[in-house]
Amino acid sequence: MGYTGYKSFANLELYYTDDGSSAGQTKPNVVTDPDYIAPVLDTVTCAPSTRYYSVEKKLSAKKNNCGTGYSGSTVTLTSFPNQFFSTVSQVDANAQADAWLAANVQTYANNAGTCEITYTPPTGGGGGPGGCFIEGTLITLPDGTRKAIEELTLEQLLLSAEIETLNDTNIPDELYKWSCEYLTENRIISPITKITKQVANKTIIVNNGLLEATPTHLQLIQRSGYWRFISLGDIEVGDNLYTIDGEIIPVTSVTVNLEKRNIYPMTLNPFHTYFANGILTHNYKEANHNDN
């Protein structure tokens, strides 16, 4: 530590005031005692050592405790001027600052940083066309009744949902960037502007047939506390789905089907959401402009 220029007293000895002789009693010099004697400045017999103070230092780290599908922001921790000192050298003072930054920057980043959605493009159709549901999927009409997707026709009106924080779009790059913590939606009506019949060689089955569609179908899910859209091929057990009754239900199983399935790509306009087997989903157009 070196000398500070102050002389302190570890023990106190009792003296008689009349003749200055010792009473033979000593005790520790404790700060809380009423007769405590504070250190006194004595730069002659206790010359202070030279002190070297650290300069300002900075170190950055990326928040690394975000959930799946999210990326942490980069945060900078600062060691301010004179935060550390050394009686050895300036290099030693600065080294203390560097060591403190290295030991604390990740914890600081995890506490002060933010999580942002990682944009992940669709996994691909695996031999099938754009994302769409299989034959037999029941689609909800405005009056609450359901009709099999293969029975739907052009200009058919479907029950749709306008999500409060979503600027509804059919552009995947925009949809994949959107997320929200609390899902608020209003029921609306949207017509089918295009629907076709195709064949898919690969589909994803969720919850033993609750949903079955091609891997690129865009699905609304909740993960790590956030609602977002992902391709069905990226859905995981533990994600949540949103029902027509406003309930949140968990994904309990995900399997891959490689048998041929009849599928029905369709486009809605101006709103692009609808309910398939009672689950809120999205009518999504791939970047190559194949409708689904």
pTM to 2 decimal places: 0.58
Non-local CB neighbours of 143 within 8 Å, separated by 6+ positions: none
Distance CA 31, CA 35 (A): 9
If you average pLDDT over residues 108-113, what whole number do you get?
92
124-169 per-position pLDDT tens digit: 433 335 468 999 999 999 999 999 999 999 999 999 999 988 876 6
Q: Where in the chain is the domain with CATH 2.170.16.10?
A: 138-282
- Domain 138-282 matching CATH 2.170.16.10: the answer reads yes
Q: What is the mean pLDDT of residues 227-238?
A: 92
Q: Which residues pair with 206 in a beta bridge?
A: 211, 254
- Please give the pLDDT value at position 34: 87
pLDDT band at 1 (very low <50, low <70, confident <90, very high): low
Can you read off the two tokens belonging to residue 131? Answer: 């994302």
More confident of the two residues 12 and 49: 12
CA distance 231 to 219: 6
- 251 contacts 277 by C-beta, under 8 angstroms: no
Banded pLDDT at 115 (limits 50, 70, 90): confident
pLDDT tens digits along 33-52: 888 988 888 777 777 778 89
